[in-house]
Structure 1
């Protein structure tokens, strides 16, 4: 399952290869409330076909109507605004007072979409620079701390896995977690030193590594865009990974297990070189409380908690499994 940004680019490449006129639309600025964030993309074809989203739907309807009525006639990139007045905000489905500015870029072979996709296949984080006057495009590795930016002359966008997720263990839950995380723009690595669990594992876009978890955590040099989730139930594997991950800059470190197992894990980690402050970063029992029972539901619960933390949602607004009353018959792994 690709992320929506990757689906947009792949569709653009297919349209270009087929000789069809198409445009790439990017949200570059918003004022007030806006249904879609800066950086959201949409591609539109000459027949009105679209993929992606830049609003709640009404701006897409306007773009489609224009494409079908007038065709795609732009000779070069343009900046387009919607919702400047209250009437327009209502017409285009924006919240009251909301305004959205878009960069609309006609695509061709010189747009270098195919080359960009080749780099993304190698899991590179790429900076794409568009000259708004000439339409010329350059591609380069994104420097540390790079962010999207736009001015009257240039649009610079970032493409590739902006976030990293290391999963310890290649079980059934790991498959669901890896699949959804990939669609959420994570570069997913699964660490599984046990041969019996690696047999039959095959997921496109997910890297499977045969290594000891603590060695891999150190090798990856986890930063503030990294997350680690331990899912093996084996202290010899999970604890080693957690011990190193808690010392890193990873924004999220979590481990599956019941309340009782989580308490024992915390006692074990304190016996190693893990400080109380570092241990306080451990999420376990893992995930937000959504009544999850099945592996697919538990994966959603874990990713919901990761997303809340990544987006800076205050802890007081999160209901984690560790904060919920333990009911008889609750799921042994999570509740």
Structure 2
């Protein structure tokens, strides 16, 4: 599963190969409330076919109508603004008088879309620099703290996975968790030293490693854009890796299991010389309570909690009576344990 923005870029490359005229539309700035963040992309072909989104739908309708009536006629990039007046904001479905600024770029053979995709496939984080005067493009290596930047002459956009997820255990739940995380633009690594689990693992776009999980955690040099989720139920695999992860600056560290198992895990971690504040970073039972019982539902609950933590939204689990009884966790054998 590709992220939305990656699907947009791949579709652009396909249209260019087919000789179809097309334009790439990027959100470069917003004021007030906006349905899509800066950097969101949409591509539109000369027949009005579109992929991606930059708003709740009304701006897309306007862009499609213009292309269908005028064609893809731009010769160079253009910056356009929607929602300057209250009437426009209402007409284009921008809530609370929001305003959105877009860069509309006519694509051509020198737009570097193919080269960008090749470097993204190698898990690089790339800055794409668009010259607004002549439409030329340059690609540069980017850093994690780089952000979209617009000047009078250039637009710099950042592409590639900005977040990393390490999943410990290559079981069934891991497959669903990794699939959804890929679509959320995570760079996903699955670690499992057990050969019997690795032999059946197949998921394109995910790196599978067979080292011990704690060695993998150390090698990855986890930072504030990293998350670790332990799913094996095996203390021999999980505990040492969790110890190293909790000592790092990873924004999220979680482990599957019931409340009682989580309490036992925390006691074991205390014996590994972790401080109380470090152990307090551990999320367990993992995930937001949504009544999940199947692997896909559990994966959604885990990523929901990860997303809340990433976005600095308070995770509230109060009043979840009998949480441990209702929360199902996936065992190594593929059955469910309360």
Q: Which residue of 2 aligns with 1:120?
A: 120
Q: Which residue of 1 aligns with 2:240?
A: 240
Q: Which residue of 2 aligns with 1:319?
A: 317
Q: 1:263 Cα shift?
A: 0.3
Conserved? CA contact 2:144–2:162, under 8 Å: no
2:323 and 2:317 map into 1 onto residues whose CA distance is 15
**What are the equivalent positions in structure 2 for 1:263-274 lying under 5 Å apart?**
263-274=263-274
Q: Which residue of 2 aligns with 1:287?
A: 287
**What are the equivalent positions in structure 2 for 1:1-335 lying under 5 Å apart?**
1-315=1-315, 318-319=316-317, 324-326=320-322, 329-333=325-329
1:219 and 1:76 map into 2 onto residues whose CA distance is 45
SS in 2 for 1:127: strand
SS in 1 for 2:72: coil
Ranges in structure 1 where 5+ consecutive residues have no aligned partner: none
Spell out, residue by residue over 1:171-194, the C-alpha distance to the aligned partner (whole angstroms, 9 max, x if none): 000000000000000000000100
327 and 155 in structure 1: CA distance in 2 versus 1, 3 angstrom threshold:
closer
SS in 1 for 2:103: strand
SS in 2 for 1:109: coil
SS in 2 for 1:93: coil
SS in 1 for 2:289: coil
Conserved? CA contact 2:289–2:323, under 8 Å: no
2:63 and 2:195 map into 1 onto residues whose CA distance is 52
Q: Which runs of 4+ in 1 moved over 4 A?
A: none
Spell out, residue by residue over 1:106-140, the C-alpha distance to the aligned partner (whole angstroms, 9 max, x if none): 00111000000000110111111111111111001
1:328 and 1:174 map into 2 onto residues whose CA distance is 21
Q: 1:48 Cα shift?
A: 0.2
Q: 1:154 Cα shift?
A: 1.0
Further displaced range: 130-139 or 140-149: 140-149
Q: 1:145 Cα shift?
A: 1.6
2:173 and 2:71 map into 1 onto residues whose CA distance is 47
Q: 1:332 Cα shift?
A: 4.2
328 and 141 in structure 1: CA distance in 2 versus 1, 3 angstrom threshold:
closer
Conserved? CA contact 2:120–2:159, under 8 Å: yes
SS in 2 for 1:264: helix
Q: How many residues are matched? A: 331
- Please report the TM-score for the alignment, with normalisation by the length of structure 1: 0.96
Spell out, residue by residue over 1:130-158, the C-alpha distance to the aligned partner (whole angstroms, 9 max, x if none): 11111111001103421111122111111
Conserved? CA contact 2:168–2:190, under 8 Å: yes
2:323 and 2:200 map into 1 onto residues whose CA distance is 36
81 and 194 in structure 1: CA distance in 2 versus 1, 3 angstrom threshold:
same
Q: 1:319 Cα shift?
A: 3.1
Conserved? CA contact 2:293–2:328, under 8 Å: no
Spell out, residue by residue over 1:270-303, the C-alpha distance to the aligned partner (whole angstroms, 9 max, x if none): 0002111100100000001111111100000000
Q: CA RMSD in A?
A: 1.3
Spell out, residue by residue over 1:94-114, the C-alpha distance to the aligned partner (whole angstroms, 9 max, x if none): 113111000000001110000
